[in-house]
Amino acid sequence: MDHTDPRLVPFSVRRNQHGDHEYVRWSERRDVRNASSGSAIATAYWWSSGSRIIDADIVFWDGAFKFFTGSTECANGFYIADIAAHEFGHVLGLGHSTVAGATMYPSVSSCATGNRTLAPDDIAGVEALYPPASNPLPLAPTGFRIVS
């Protein structure tokens, strides 16, 4: 893989030897990927205690797929923001959606940018797992202008 091409984002998430910090490691290994089918672009793992998530990791299978940043210049790969949005949904507890176009839909096309925008189905799923507070925050004051 050409590490001089700034559009490519080849990396893997790994734990250090003490198991207490995550870090990003550059990798060109093609033998490290989803053993069940080989088709996963990324995989979310989480650990819980009761109903509380205590840790989560996302592995992007960079040995088999190209990842790009931004929203232009993708070629035969995937935008990391879109794949990450889907995997973060799993970390939050969402399963796959049957609604085409939802971020949690189980498949994505190469170079697609739709997953970075949540569909109503995605929002409803998160709100079902994490209901809005019964006492909503007060509304922001009106009539003020922000000056920078």
Threshold 0.75, pTM exceeds: no
Confirm whether 140 is domain-assigned.
no
Confirm whether 72 is domain-assigned.
yes
Q: What is the pLDDT of residue 141?
A: 67
Reported as a single tens digit per residue, the pLDDT across 75-124 is 999 999 999 999 999 988 899 999 999 999 999 999 999 999 999 999 99
Confirm whether 57 is domain-assigned.
yes
Reported as a single tens digit per residue, the pLDDT across 8-67 is 444 444 455 555 544 444 444 444 444 445 678 888 888 888 877 888 888 888 777 888
Residue 125 has pLDDT above 90, yes or no: yes
How many domains are contained in the chain?
1
Q: What is the pLDDT of residue 39?
A: 76
Residue numbers annotated as active site: 86-87, 90, 96
CA-nearest of 78, 13, 6, 7 to 43 is 13
What is the torsional sign of CA 71, 75, 80, 85?
Answer: positive
The residue among 48 and 141 whose pLDDT is bigger is 48
Amino acid occupying residue 139: L
CA atoms of 128 and 133, how far apart (whole Å): 12
Collect all residues with Cβ–Cβ distance below 8 Å to 117 and sequence separation of at least 6.
103
Q: What is the pLDDT of residue 27?
A: 42
Confirm whether 136 is domain-assigned.
no
| CATH code assigned at 18 | 3.40.390.10
The residue among 102 and 144 whose pLDDT is bigger is 102
Confirm whether 2 is domain-assigned.
no
Confirm whether 134 is domain-assigned.
no
Confirm whether 142 is domain-assigned.
no
Please give the residue range of the domain that contains residue 29: 12-129
Confirm whether 7 is domain-assigned.
no
